[in-house]
Amino acid sequence: MPGQSTALRKEPAAGERAGMRTGSYLSWGRYPKTIHSHVYKPAWDDQIPAIVKGASAGELLPYGMGRSYGDSCLNAQRALVDCRRLNRILGFDEATGVLRCESGASFAAIIEVFLPKGWFVPVTPGTKFVTVGGAIANDVHGKNHHCAGTFGAHVRQLGLHRSGEGPVFCSPSENAEMFRATIGGLGLTGVIAWADIQLRPVAGPWIDCELAPFESLAGFLDLSGESDGRFEYTVAWLDCFAGKKARGIFFRGNHAAEAGGKLRPKLGPKLPFALPAWVLNRGTVKAFNTAYYYAHAAKRGTTRVGYDSFFYPLDSLRQWNLLYGKQGFLQYQCVLPSANLAALEELLDRIAHSGMGSFLGVLKQFGTAPAAGMLSFPRPGLTLALDFAMRGERTLELLRSLDDVVWQSGGALYPAKDARMSSAMFESSFPRWRSFVPYIDPKMSSSFWRRVTGPQ
Ligand SMILES: Cc1cc2nc3c(=O)[nH]c(=O)nc-3n(C[C@H](O)[C@H](O)[C@H](O)COP(=O)(O)OP(=O)(O)OC[C@H]3O[C@@H](n4cnc5c(N)ncnc54)[C@H](O)[C@@H]3O)c2cc1C
């Protein structure tokens, strides 16, 4: 790897976007509201050992861009290590496409530099405003899970700062268990300093995309089964007001085989402040869902679209999380074991009857790739993600009733999206979590971890 380093552009964190300052870092859902005792902002890798060694037990948690929805990136009353200034490209092998970068490098910046050279991130979540460290620590998945697995499957090696051992080099062959613990390890195994990522070759920035409406869950499954062998990316938007009927739009796409013309993604408008809570009510969300369904159901055939609008439609409205008002919102993402349509129907029925619909309803069939990390969330089955405005106990009660269905079906909840699951629900989602505990750095802790495993 060449030794020279290049600093990548810096984007604001979720908390800062919402006007919050040091000590008030938030997650994307803006719930819970958390105060931190201190935020370390190292600019250089060699500053981290002193921070980690000087901390007291359970004092620290690394922080990326705060794009986790709940409290897995928060450490109430304790300290964060904001890693976004550690954002340098350390090397790139043009023959193999292996990128070495610091953990604070964002997907947005990596794409900006490497897409023009014919390389794309191997797996991407629905926003490009995430860091490599955050993507590893949640072992994120994307629309290509059925053929590429999770982001962790494309990490070749990484450097980790641990309070006891100093810098630790981890890969599938060296410190292999620590490597598996760190992928999906929720930032608890130490501060990831850098990682080697296998990028994916592409001809250019364009995606050949097809849309297909469906009017039942069986229709969704048919489309998914028929598409997964032919399309690298598949996902569906679901109208959660339709109840068991479950209509939606299926999106599928492949990277275009030709370079095509240049694409200049534009920075979209920015929501300047939190909207009043009444703006997103049953009536407005239902109307939006109906309009969205009919607008897309009419579209037929293949369209060539830019990667930005295909992968990151939500990024086009910056700070869209402020739409949900001052109280913030919760995302509910579960996975249900394969073919458990009855459980999925029950979830949709309970949501429809609650009157608390979500305009973001995402459904995808995960593939069968083995988990890359000890606590990785994806597993074979159907994953459903929905946003709910935080309306206090009413919202929490609905989510608890959804938990009952997920629990009974043998499913799991995604920690990256969670702010309220019980320790029993966590235990049921990750029954082997105790075998992860020996890999936790004693200086690390998080609000999420204390909530689901008990006070430390
Ligand atoms: C619009 C939107 C769409 C999304 N779509 C998806 C999706 O499709 N699939 C999916 O899987 N997720 C999705 N997410 C969730 C998001 O991808 C993850 O939460 C991601 O981990 C956030 O990265 P981050 O850099 O913001 O990290 P943060 O949210 O700041 O932190 C996440 C975790 O990483 C740890 N961490 C951060 N940096 C380091 C480091 N240097 N060393 C060690 N640990 C570290 C933190 O301690 C924390 O546990 C989405 C989020 C949004 C807002």
d(CA 137, ligand 1 centre) in Å: 7
With both helix axes pointing from N to C terminus, report the angle between 217-227 and 341-354 in degrees, rounded to the nearest 10.
130
Q: Which residues contact 53 (CB under 8 A, 6 or more apart)?
A: 163
Say if ligand 1 is within 6 A of residue 366 CB. no
pLDDT at 19: 36
Which residue of 75, 88, 140, 332 sits with most ligand 1 atoms within 8 Å of its CB, as the best mutation to test the pocket? 140
Say if ligand 1 is within 6 A of residue 83 CB. yes
Say if ligand 1 is within 6 A of residue 62 CB. yes
pLDDT at 297: 80
Burial bucket for residue 350 (CB in 10 Å: 0-12, 13-18, 19+): middle
pLDDT at 251: 96
| Radius of gyration of the chain, Cα coordinates, nearest whole angstrom | 21
Contact between 357 and 306 (Cβ < 8 Å): no
pLDDT at 278: 67
pLDDT at 9: 45
Say if ligand 1 is within 6 A of residue 184 CB. no
Q: Return the residue matching tokens 């037990």.
A: 57
What's the distance, Cα to Cα, between the start and end of the chain in Å? 41
Say if ligand 1 is within 6 A of residue 142 CB. yes
pLDDT at 275: 67
Q: Which of 303, 306, 328 is nearest to 315 (CA)?
A: 306
CA distance 87 to 141: 22
pLDDT at 18: 37
CA distance 126 to 109: 15
Segment 346-379, tens digit of pLDDT:
999 999 888 887 777 999 999 999 999 999 999 9
456 residues of the chain, pLDDT tens digit each: 433 344 444 455 565 443 345 446 999 999 999 999 999 999 999 999 999 999 999 999 999 999 999 999 999 999 999 999 999 999 999 999 999 999 999 999 999 999 999 999 999 999 999 999 999 999 999 999 999 999 999 999 999 999 999 899 999 999 999 999 999 999 999 999 999 999 999 999 999 999 999 999 999 999 999 999 999 999 999 988 776 678 999 999 999 999 988 888 777 777 777 766 667 777 777 777 787 777 788 777 789 999 999 999 999 988 889 988 889 999 999 999 976 889 999 999 999 888 887 777 999 999 999 999 999 999 999 999 999 999 999 999 999 999 999 999 999 999 999 999 999 999 999 999 999 999 999 999 999 999 999 866
pLDDT at 186: 98
Segment 125-175, tens digit of pLDDT:
999 999 999 999 999 999 999 999 999 999 999 999 999 998 999 999 999
Say if ligand 1 is within 6 A of residue 344 CB. no
Q: Which residues contact 337 (CB under 8 A, 6 or more apart)?
A: 379, 380, 381, 409, 410, 411
